[in-house]
């Protein structure tokens, strides 16, 4: 599969391939119910085992194949997930869930191939906000800003509170030079108590692109070192320049050949985070070693969890994309 620059800060925000276990209704069988409950409870390994058990008895069970694809996506096994979704679609070409799952997997490597999958969902379900939001992402990743913004606005017309579409629309507008409009959309969400780190960083990206570098620096400094802040801000302010090559999130993450996975208040928590990832994503994390480092900032101590051993920035980015697909945050840091 061809590689593309997965980007746009939160465009792969909600590339959040995470949340790809959307439910589409219909009656379910007991075995499938167990797998669905495992997915909803954050245990994709159990869901995978249950789905595989069903498929041993019924190899062409489209529903079990789709559940297996969702579990594999959550575990970062994107190639395996694509194969499961494709098999499901050979049995049921109209499966919205399989089409959506396959589209989300393809977003990371071939957004041009993902776009028609979301359009197929919308042919039968034109008010499907998940498909509309992901259609916007696919178009943004191809540089089709107007088409992307149309998809986000349609999703928001159906559900005005859809945060993913709000943020994606704001980022897309900022990248097309409409920073003032973008700020009006994202600022209320990013400045409310409890706003996520990702939301705050997306807000900082738009501030930087609007020319307010000082405020963007203040926001980013909560989580990043001064050197990292400078590099990120340089990438943000160049994101809308004519001929600018990198998209926002790849610029944010392209800081080196180690991947940062978390920042914690204690060393024990950092190591516990690593153990949980190894248990949840054994195929992805197997053979990797944790790098836990101490950072003093503003009178506080932060423990950063990283892993290294990547042969190139491209390899680190590919690994990070798989972590994001499994609903785990990450950033590629300097060595």
| CATH number, domain with residue 69 | 1.25.40.10
Residues 116 and 233 in one domain: yes
Please report the pLDDT score of residue 55 as a whole number: 93
Please report the pLDDT score of residue 17 as a whole number: 32
CB contact set of 213 (below 8 Å; sequence gap of 6+): 207, 233, 237
Q: How far is CA 88 from CA 65, 146, 200, 322, in A?
A: 5, 33, 38, 22
The answer to whether the pTM exceeds 0.85 is: no
Smallest CA-to-CA distance from 15 within 161, 114, 155, 91 is with 114
Cα distance between residue 127 and residue 154, in whole Å = 8
For residue 203 the two structure tokens come to: 């807000």
Number of H helices, E strands in the chain: 17, 4
Helices (H), 159-291: 163-175, 179-190, 197-209, 213-220, 226-238, 248-253, 267-280, 282-285
Residues 127 and 240 in one domain: yes
The verdict on residue 7 lying in a domain is no
- Domain closes at, from 196, 218, 245: 245
Please report the pLDDT score of residue 25 as a whole number: 46
Cα angle vertex 89, ends 85, 90, to 5°?
120
Please report the pLDDT score of residue 323 as a whole number: 81
- 293 by DSSP, 3-state: which? strand
The verdict on residue 79 lying in a domain is yes
Smallest CA-to-CA distance from 148 within 11, 3, 321 is with 11
The verdict on residue 10 lying in a domain is no
The verdict on residue 13 lying in a domain is no
The verdict on residue 101 lying in a domain is yes
Question: Please, is 308 exposed, middle or buried when counting C-beta atoms within 10 Å of its C-beta (0-12, 13-18, 19+)?
Answer: middle
Smallest CA-to-CA distance from 320 within 265, 219, 308, 239 is with 308
Residues 169 and 91 in one domain: no
- Domain closes at, from 245, 263, 287: 245
Residues 216 and 255 in one domain: no
The verdict on residue 59 lying in a domain is yes
| pLDDT mean values, one per 10 residues, the chain (335 residues) | 38 36 49 87 89 93 94 85 95 95 84 93 96 91 89 96 91 88 92 86 87 89 80 63 35 52 79 84 80 69 78 75 76 61
Residues 293 and 331 in one domain: yes
CB contact set of 94 (below 8 Å; sequence gap of 6+): 124
Residue 62 domain boundaries: 18-107
Place of tokens 């945050």: 329
* CB 305 within 8 Å of CB 260: yes
Smallest CA-to-CA distance from 171 within 13, 18, 330 is with 13
Cα distance between residue 86 and residue 19, in whole Å = 19
Smallest CA-to-CA distance from 223 within 242, 196, 246, 247 is with 196
Please report the pLDDT score of residue 290 as a whole number: 83
- Domain closes at, from 107, 136, 169: 107
For residue 94 the two structure tokens come to: 């109209």
DSSP state at residue 294: E
């Amino acid at each position: 599969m061809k590689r593309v620059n997965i980007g746009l800060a939160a465009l792969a925000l909600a590339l959040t391939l995470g949340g790809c276990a959307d439910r589409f209704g219909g009656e379910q069988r007991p075995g499938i119910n167990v797998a669905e409950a495992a997915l909803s409870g954050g245990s994709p390994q159990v869901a995978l085992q249950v789905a595989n058990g069903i498929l041993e008895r019924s190899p062409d069970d489209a529903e079990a194949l789709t559940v297996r694809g969702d579990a594999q996506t959550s575990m970062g096994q994107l190639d395996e997930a694509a194969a499961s979704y494709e098999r499901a679609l050979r049995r049921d070409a109209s499966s919205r869930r399989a089409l959506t799952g396959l589209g989300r997997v393809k977003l990371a490597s071939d957004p041009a191939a993902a776009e028609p999958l979301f359009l197929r969902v919308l042919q039968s379900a034109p008010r499907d906000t998940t498909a509309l939001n992901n259609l916007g992402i696919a178009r943004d990743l191809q540089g089709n800003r107007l088409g992307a913004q149309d998809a986000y606005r349609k999703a928001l017309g159906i559900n005005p509170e859809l945060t993913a579409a709000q943020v994606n629309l704001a980022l897309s507008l900022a990248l097309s030079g409409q920073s003032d409009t973008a700020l009006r959309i994202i600022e209320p969400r990013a400045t409310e108590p409890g706003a996520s780190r990702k939301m705050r960083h997306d807000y900082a990206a738009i501030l930087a692109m609007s020319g307010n570098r000082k405020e963007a620096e203040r926001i980013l400094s909560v989580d990043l070192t001064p050197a990292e802040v400078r590099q990120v801000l340089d990438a943000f302010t160049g994101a809308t320049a004519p001929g600018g090559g990198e998209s926002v999130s790849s610029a944010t993450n392209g800081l080196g050949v180690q991947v940062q996975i978390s920042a914690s208040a204690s060393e024990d928590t950092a190591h516990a985070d690593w153990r949980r990832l190894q248990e949840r994503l054994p195929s992805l994390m197997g053979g990797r070693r944790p790098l836990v480092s101490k950072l003093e900032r503003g009178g506080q101590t932060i423990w950063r969890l990283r892993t290294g051993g990547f042969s190139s920035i491209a390899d680190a980015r590919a690994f990070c994309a798989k972590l994001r697909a499994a609903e785990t945050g990450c950033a590629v840091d300097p060595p």
